[in-house]
Amino acid sequence: MLQTLLVALLAGFALQAMGPAGEPVLRGIGHLQKLVFRILAMIMWVAPVGAFGAIAALVGATGVDALKSLAVIMVGFYVTCLLFVVVVLGGLLRLVAGVSIFALLKYLGREFLLILSTSSSESALPRLIAKMEHLGVSRPVVGITVPTGYSFNLDGTAIYLTMSSIFIAEALGKPLALGQQVSLLLFMIVASKGAAGVTGAGLATLAGGLQSHRPELVDGVGLIVGIDRFMSEARAMTNFAGNAVATVLIGTWTKEVDAARMDEVLAGRLPFDEATLAADGGHGAMDPASEGASQRTVSM
């Protein structure tokens, strides 16, 4: 995946340098993208049947105890993500920018509901860009940080990959020593950088990561197929929160933030106008050329 991202970046820069001559290539890529999405839609129609079969086979083989174990990993994952957002991200946000993580999460409440319903942070990308600019972060910082973060700043996915791998190792009777867990953590942090994609991409990345690092654990991926949809929601929201915090932090470090405006927005005295996001691109929404560049970056 990382090699693919590198080639995609090079292709994007080359097409941008070609100017109008690259338009036929872009149109061809657009048609191929529609074909891929159509195939994915066909697969996703039957995916619930596969998930049902996987969890039914697991329960049939091990009994109700399997459901208890799956409930434990789900609850543990949600708690870990919550602690990471509140303690780690919240601490950095307060220390660097002097902003409350709870105020920022409240400001992005609608986007979290959207992610919860779609189980993907990709659906909230345009709104995050608009809201970060409305918050007072400059357009160049938002235009670079948000799309790049969607491909490389995937905190929730890194947590998911590590915890799922440890769970699979325990379930297969092949527990990992502390040193092996640290090694796995570092490897999965790198592997998560290539996990951007449609809902469920984290599961494919988990299988690929285990195949590369611990191939003897790959057969255990089927153990969590049935609950991956529920864990996908938590990792998507964690990824989204991480990108929002990163945008504020980078804007603060580069002195590209209007602190007074940020205080007004987070206090609710300068509300975000939901209508202008779609109607006229208000609140500093990106122009068509910049928006197209960001969308290409996310696609890559």
Q: Could you tell me the residue ranges of all domains in the chain? A: 1-46, 59-292
The confidence band for 2, taking pLDDT boundaries of 50, 70 and 90, is low
Q: Does domain 59-292 have CATH number 1.10.3860.10?
A: yes
Q: Which structure tokens are listed for 130? A: 């608009």
Q: Which structure tokens are listed for 242? A: 């991480």
Residue with tokens 């502390």: 178
Q: Which structure tokens are listed for 104? A: 């920022």
Is 50 exceeded by the pLDDT of residue 285?
Answer: no
Q: Supply the mean pLDDT for the chain.
A: 79
Cα-based angle 15, 281, 258 (whole degrees, multiple of 5): 95
Q: Determine the average pLDDT of the residues in 13-23.
A: 88
Please report, to the nearest 10 degrees, the dihedral formed by the alpha carbons of residues 114, 235, 152, 130 taken in order.
Answer: 20
pLDDT at 295: 41
Is 80 exceeded by the pLDDT of residue 27?
Answer: yes
Is 80 exceeded by the pLDDT of residue 55?
Answer: no
Cα-based angle 81, 85, 86 (whole degrees, multiple of 5): 115
Q: Which of 146-150, 171-175, 217-221 has the highest mean pLDDT?
A: 146-150
The confidence band for 195, taking pLDDT boundaries of 50, 70 and 90, is low
Q: State percent of the chain over pLDDT 70.
A: 82
Q: Is 193 exposed, middle or buried (0-12, 13-18, 19+ CB in 10 A)?
A: middle
